[in-house]
Chain A
Amino acid sequence: MTSRSHPRGGPPVATLWPAGRRALAGAAVAVATVTALAGGLVVASGRLALVFGAAHVGATLIAVQRPPAVGLHVATGSALAAAALVDSGDTVAGVVILVAGAVVGAELLGGAGDAAIVVERDPRPTVRRAALAGAMALAVAGLVVVLGAIDGPSGVLATAVAAIGATALVLVLAGAHRSGVRTARPGARF
């Protein structure tokens, strides 16, 4: 109910631009631009990071127009972080920030896609969710970096430890979410 197919059979193009969608799309582009600038100029100062930074902004602009193309944003964001890692040697703190920026941008783009409907949507819950996702990304990525830096198990083992840690975090968060569920009375009629 929010999109139409391309006349030549391309991917659906969202055609509605209510204020909420415009705000979220603008925020996503701003976050992507800041992330790209941070990656290309501050964290890495390398050519590869600059190229991926530009690609990241371009992918964000495409995803703003075509919500299903959010995968491009995620791919270029991850590539930007990886490129920054290559360009900057072993400086990983900036990489964590870049990943968090890509996560925030992806959540904002998802919210913008959802807001492409005839009903006006309040963008604030999406912005809050994106901010929370960014904080979580910082924590998770930081945790993995810390676990990978511990003496002893390194390389493949560190990755496995990181994966286990991430899974444990997910389970904790999911449990916290379920405890907050308010359920309508089963079988309630109206």
Chain B
Amino acid sequence: MKRSRRADARLPAYVAAAVVGVVLSIAVGRAELAAIAAPWAVLALLGVADRRPPELRAVVAVATERVLEGDEVDGDARLAWHGTGDVDVILAPLPGMEVVAPTRVVGWCVTGATHPADAPVVLAFALRARVWGRHQLGELHVRFRRPWGLLVWDEVVAVGPEVRVLPGGAKVDRLLDPHEPRDVSGAHRSSHRGQGTEFAELRPYAPGDRLRDLSWSASARLGEPWVVVHHPERTGTLLLLLDTFLDGSETGTEALARAARAAWAVASAHLRAGDRVGLLASGRVTAWLAPTAGRRARYQLLDELLSVGAVAEDRRRHQGGSRRRSVPPDALVVGVTALRSPSFAGDLLAHRRAGRTVVVIVIDTADLLPGPGDAVEAAVQRLWGAELDVARHRLSRLGVPSALVGPGGEVAAAVAGLRRAGRAPSRVQR
């Protein structure tokens, strides 16, 4: 913990005034000059009379360390010290959070020893999770001064806990179909025939067919036994390709937040359906998670997403990306991007050229732009929107369909649009 003691700016001034006054008084032999110096001397001596360090101790805690975006987090800072003093306390910085209480900052001024001698002062605060990610709640900075004291102790007495803000909002109830599902039972209709629930065709009964597959209505109508043939349901592999080509602006951070919300919504739906889901973040922040399924995969994926979010919020941190990436050839690649980076579009096309099915969820950030001030700005913004359309059209021509997610985060509609561009819908298996 950082700790420093410094003198108030008044102390050298008081000492100098006292010394000069006394010296002049002695030099010219007039007690009146000592009268001018004496109050400064008294204040200076009072200011340094109590030099005991306050021995500050503190703990910062929050009620819950995992919240959704927009949720409130209650917490408190418990602070104790030795002796009487005026204490200024600030908890900062608070990345990804906005302050609900006590004021617009998490800070307090405690005047004098207003707490019982054997109990710490409890300073309650409330925050609202603003941006998804893994956020360290800063440090507790304390400034302490004794009554009449001209010595000031500045200390960092505690470190805030880590809060994991989960992306909230969008829910998806339909799945994107991989090009060729794996040979494991799941939610995706296989192109093969076999046991399943999805209707494929009617055909005449053949030796070996199960009696339960007989279509009694068709058999009665046609006068011979006919059976219903189904498509079996299989699990698939999904690779989320997250665009993190941030420009460092608020707009870029918000675009990434929207992209992460969309990615998490799609991933959650597919993980619930038993699919394997992987993550590849490319851009300024890189992250790689090999496709896996199950509950553990859910936590791993969330962890990677939160790490990306934390980097987006805290520009000092960088994510490593040196692990070997092995993208399964049958994976459905879902790009989630604002489509402003040519190199990200290049990545998408590289996956397409490798024979994978690639679809793109395009995050619309037009609403984040400030209103046009004049005709030139309006033209620039129109051009900006046209560039996005051109990029989408180019991808579509090369076999990569895309769907736009607006500011409301309508991921479900985007997924439905992408499904219309591909196959017939299939419901999520819950």
- Which A residues are within 8 Å of any B CB, using their own CB? 1, 67-71, 73-75, 78, 81-82, 85, 90, 92, 95-96, 99-100, 103, 106-107, 109-110, 113-114, 117-122, 125, 129, 133, 136-137, 140-145, 147-149, 154-156, 158-159, 162-163, 166-167, 169-170, 173-174, 177-178, 180-186, 188-190
Contacts and interface: CB of A to CB of B under 8 A. Distances in A.
A47 B21 CA distance: 22
5 contacts: A113-B9, A125-B112, A140-B38, A158-B34, A170-B49
A118 B141 CA distance: 12
B9 A159 contact: no
B14 interface: yes
B13 A144 contact: no
A169 B42 contact: yes
Contact of A174 (B31, B50, B108): B50
Interface of B is mostly: mixed
A103 B41 CA distance: 11
Nearest to A115: B109
Given A109-B10, A173-B42, 5 more contacts: A99-B36, A110-B9, A119-B89, A174-B49, A182-B84
Contact of B35 (A95, A107, A129, A167): A95
Nearest to A143: B38
A92 B35 contact: yes
Given A122-B111, A162-B34, A71 B84 contact: no
B31 A162 contact: yes
B428 interface: no
A117 B88 contact: yes
Nearest to B104: A118
A159 B26 contact: yes
B46 interface: yes
Contacts of A145: 31-32, 35
B390 to A, nearest CB: 44
Contacts of A186: 82
Contacts of A67: 9
A185 B103 contact: no
Interface in B9-44: 9-10, 12-14, 16-17, 20-22, 24-26, 29-43
Contacts, number: 200
B100 interface: no
Nearest to A73: B13
Contact of B42 (A117, A121, A136, A147): A136
A9 B49 CA distance: 33
Interface stretch (B113-121, B267-275, B321-329, B337-345): B113-121
A100 B40 CA distance: 10
B366 interface: no
B50 A177 contact: yes
B117 A183 contact: yes
Interface residues of B, number: 65
B31 A158 contact: yes
Interface in B298-312: none
B182 interface: no
Contacts of B148: 129, 177
Given A92-B35, A122-B111, A148-B32, A188 B49 contact: no
Nearest to B78: A190
Interface in B21-77: 21-22, 24-26, 29-43, 45-46, 49-50, 57, 59
Q: Which 10 A-B pairs have the closest CB atoms?
A: A148-B31, A119-B107, A137-B39, A71-B13, A155-B29, A74-B13, A174-B49, A158-B31, A144-B35, A185-B118
A1 B115 CA distance: 25
B33 A173 contact: no
Contacts of A110: 8-10
B283 interface: no
A145 B35 CA distance: 6
A156 B123 CA distance: 55
A96 B13 contact: no
Contact of B17 (A78, A92, A189): A78
Given A119-B103, A145-B32, A159-B22, A190 B57 contact: yes
B205 interface: no
Contact of A177 (B49, B92, B104, B115): B49
Given A74-B17, A78-B20, A174-B50, A95 B109 contact: no
B82 A78 contact: no
Contact of A163 (B8, B17, B34): B34
Interface string B267-307: 00000000000000000000000000000000000000000
B147 interface: yes
B90 interface: yes
A78 B25 contact: no
B173 interface: no
Interface in B140-158: 141, 143, 145, 147-148
Nearest to A133: B43
B35 A99 contact: yes
B43 A103 contact: yes
Given A99-B35, A100-B39, A140-B38, A159 B25 contact: yes
B105 interface: yes
Contact of A119 (B17, B37, B50, B105): B105
A9 B33 CA distance: 37
A69 B8 CA distance: 11
A109 B43 CA distance: 14
* Interface core residue of B16, B24, B32, B45 (most chain A CB under 10 Å): B32
